[in-house]
Structure 1
Amino acid sequence: ARIIREMFGFARDHEPCVIFMDEIDAIGGSRFSEGTSADREIQRTLMELLNQMDGFEEQGIVKMVMATNRPDILDPALLRPGRLDRKIEIPEPNESQRLEILKIHASSITKRGDIDYESVVKLADGLNGADMRNICTEAGLFAIRSDRDYVLE
């Protein structure tokens, strides 16, 4: 909770400022009555975040952006109008978007032979951009384990 107060204080002292909180579901998940002392500390942190966000109007030009890949578990109090005004959902990429993402991440990899990107993308149905990057990383690691300095299909 102290870190939340300090973060908002720092933002007010250095405005204009944007506070970005990634993986907000780590502290902004739905509350429950039972749990460990760590769970209670997370709930205190969430309560302080909600308290600071309630005073947002007086904060001048401090804006807040939050990101999560688990919007389904966020506490309803966090999503109340006046706290977070806009929800922007970025959908999973479709096949052609995954192909472009894969080509971008594969462009810096040393390759030998033809790579059938389309086949890789078809096998990657349901994966996101980070997953596509990970495919390239794993291909590079596989090449290293095979004592090669290039990737094969």
Structure 2
Amino acid sequence: MLPTTYQQFIHQSRYARWQEDKSRRESWEETVKRYFDFFEEHLKGKPSVKKERKELEKAVLNLEIMPSMRALMTAGEALHRDNVAGYNCAYLAVNAKRAFDECLFILMCGTGVGFSVERREVEKLPLVADELFDTDTTIHVSDSKIGWAKAYK
């Protein structure tokens, strides 16, 4: 258990997953185990970290060290599906149309995006027409992160 009420609240409200079979949220120990289980599986075939796991897991449990809190939050299916979910923040220069769909995708993964709109960057963007006209074009959007990002293209 975490030492202070505040730490317990932050853990329960932001990092602990709901466990349907137990009708409760994860304990701190279970959250840390989920994180290390994920990375042990994710790093299979890479140089082994199993011998360090016990020492590292104990240090995290005792709050001596902390992993990426985004990775702690998303370890499991979300992080397996897309590693962008493990980042706290990203940066991009808004200098191509692609920046907009990339930004949308990154934000939908829960990662913050900082961006540059300096003149030297935005001058590289295509001009936007002064007038827009009615159209019968229909855009079909797949209701997923990738679908919405692609629709933005």
In which range does the TM-score fall when normalised by the shorter chain?
under 0.3
Give the structure-1-normalised TM-score. 0.25
Higher relative contact order (CA 8 A, sep 6+): 1
Give the structure-2-normalised TM-score. 0.25
